[in-house]
Amino acid sequence: MIRRGAKANRRRDFEKPANAGTRRRAFRMLALFIVLLSGAAGYWIGLRGPALDTMKLIVWADQFFPIESIEVNEVQKVSRDEVLAILNLDGARGLLSTDPAKVKQSLESHPWIQQADVRRVFPDTLVVELKEREPVAVLRAGRRELLLGHDGAVIAEAGPGAFEGFPILTGIDYAQMISRNAETTERVLSGIALASLLNEVGANRTEIDLHTPGDMVAYYDGLRIRFGEGAFENKLERYRRLEGGLKRHGAMEGPGKQERGQDLSGVSKSGDVEVDLRFQDRIIVREKGGKRGWAEKTKSS
């Protein structure tokens, strides 16, 4: 008899957690049903009279859906602790009262977070997926250097020399960058696009001057290249064909004309040279101080 009694007690002890879990699920389903029903009734009644206060019901039902798990994907620059600090979940808030749109907005206010996707997984899990900004350029504004992402957003700020290995943008001061009006944003994005293009073709230590709208200037390897505005890829391809040592085939202009058929492959490595790509049908090359200059007719591509 003692042996059978012990078995019965063990069976009842084992069944208690299962029963507790079943009751909790039942309460959750009932609470969610009440909230949904009251929302539908509030909408229907609201068309004909005073709406029901569903927020009080949500606050009441929230106790049955506590956030017990927060899943955050692993990223490089933003730690899990930073994410939790932004979420600011003190344990008093449950899934029902957590607004994914507001959480998303709070997370995307972090300079390193480009995009945040937030979703509730009932009954007790909040899932956060982050996409970080990739730094692509540095804006040099006086004594400040601003690390920029693809979208032109400021990721970080430091003193001179803090960010190495990135293309440098100049010609926009700190106040202009912070104000971020449409014209400034467009110039910054154009500078980033040109810097990325030059990086793809192996240009080192590139500096892009954005000071004059419509006349973007790039500096690298002793060259001053005037790109003007837009069609950067086409202009760069025309210049690379010239730089590669193509023979002259068109009319020459300007002082110090070179002989037709002369190889130009060494010009870009000779020192301070300006290359003007702003014209559709020609490339104008000038050496520093105006000592020598010429124009090369090209076929637009």
CATH number at residue 263: 3.40.50.11690
What is the per-residue pLDDT for 187? 94
Coil vs helix vs strand at 265: coil
pLDDT level of residue 250 (50, 70, 90 thresholds): very low
Question: Do the domain assignments include residue 107?
Answer: yes
Q: What is the CATH number of the domain that holds 109?
A: 3.10.20.310
> Among 39-53, 72-86, 107-121, 233-247, which stretch is predicted with the lowest mean pLDDT?
39-53
In whole angstroms, give the CA distance from residue 60 to residue 209. Answer: 59
Question: Do the domain assignments include residue 87?
Answer: yes
Q: Clarify whether residues 113 and 195 are in a common domain.
A: no
Model pLDDT for residues 262-282, shown as the tens digit of each residue: 444 444 444 478 889 998 888
Structural domain count, the chain: 3
What is the per-residue pLDDT for 89? 83
Q: Clarify whether residues 38 and 126 are in a common domain.
A: no
Evaluate if residue 24 carries a pLDDT over 80. no
What is the per-residue pLDDT for 247? 38
Give the domain-ending residue among 110, 132, 154: 132
Give the domain-ending residue among 17, 39, 57: 57
Range of the domain at 25: 2-57
What is the per-residue pLDDT for 3? 39
Model pLDDT for residues 30-67, shown as the tens digit of each residue: 555 555 555 544 444 444 444 456 667 677 778 888 99
What is the per-residue pLDDT for 29? 58
What is the per-residue pLDDT for 200? 87
Q: Clarify whether residues 192 and 148 are in a common domain.
A: yes
Q: Clarify whether residues 112 and 85 are in a common domain.
A: yes
User: Residue 189 is which amino acid?
Assistant: L
Peptide bond into 123 cis (omega under 30): yes
What is the per-residue pLDDT for 54? 64
Q: Clarify whether residues 170 and 42 are in a common domain.
A: no
Q: Clarify whether residues 232 and 293 are in a common domain.
A: yes
Q: Which residues of 54-74 are buried (b: 16+ CB within 10 A; e: fewer)?
A: beebbeebbebbebeeeebee
Q: What is the DSSP letter of 66?
A: B
Q: Clarify whether residues 117 and 35 are in a common domain.
A: no
Segment 280-299 mean pLDDT: 70
* Residue closest to 60 by CA, chosen among 32, 21, 101, 25: 32
Question: Do the domain assignments include residue 99?
Answer: yes
Q: Clarify whether residues 217 and 88 are in a common domain.
A: no
Segment 198-211 mean pLDDT: 88
Segment 187-211 mean pLDDT: 91
> Which residue is associated with the tokens 């300006």?
274
Beta bridge partners of 228: 216
Question: Do the domain assignments include residue 274?
Answer: yes
Evaluate if residue 243 carries a pLDDT over 60. yes
What is the per-residue pLDDT for 260? 38
What is the per-residue pLDDT for 181? 87
What is the per-residue pLDDT for 269? 42
Contact between 234 and 245 under an 8 Å Cβ cutoff? The reply is no
Q: What is the DSSP letter of 200?
A: H
Exposed (0-12), middle (13-18) or buried (19+): which is 156, by Cβ within 10 Å? middle
Question: Do the domain assignments include residue 78?
Answer: yes
Query: Edge-to-edge, what's the strand order for the sheet holding 113-121?
Result: 69-72, 125-132, 113-121
**What is the chain's mean pLDDT, rounded?**
77
pLDDT level of residue 104 (50, 70, 90 thresholds): very high
Model pLDDT for residues 137-168, shown as the tens digit of each residue: 999 998 899 999 999 999 999 888 888 899 99
Q: Clarify whether residues 149 and 77 are in a common domain.
A: no
Segment 250-254 mean pLDDT: 36
User: Residue 265 is which amino acid?
Assistant: S
Contact between 160 and 145 under an 8 Å Cβ cutoff? The reply is yes
Q: Clarify whether residues 144 and 272 are in a common domain.
A: yes
Q: What distance, in Å, lies between the first and last C-alpha atoms of the chain?
A: 98
Coil vs helix vs strand at 153: coil
Task: State CA 155 to chain mean position distance.
Answer: 9
In whole angstroms, give the CA distance from residue 260 to residue 22. Answer: 91
Question: Do the domain assignments include residue 229?
Answer: yes
Give the domain-ending residue among 117, 132, 147: 132
Question: Do the domain assignments include residue 62?
Answer: no
Question: Do the domain assignments include residue 42?
Answer: yes
Q: Clarify whether residues 49 and 153 are in a common domain.
A: no
Model pLDDT for residues 114-128, shown as the tens digit of each residue: 999 999 998 899 999
pLDDT level of residue 240 (50, 70, 90 thresholds): confident
Q: Clarify whether residues 165 and 261 are in a common domain.
A: yes
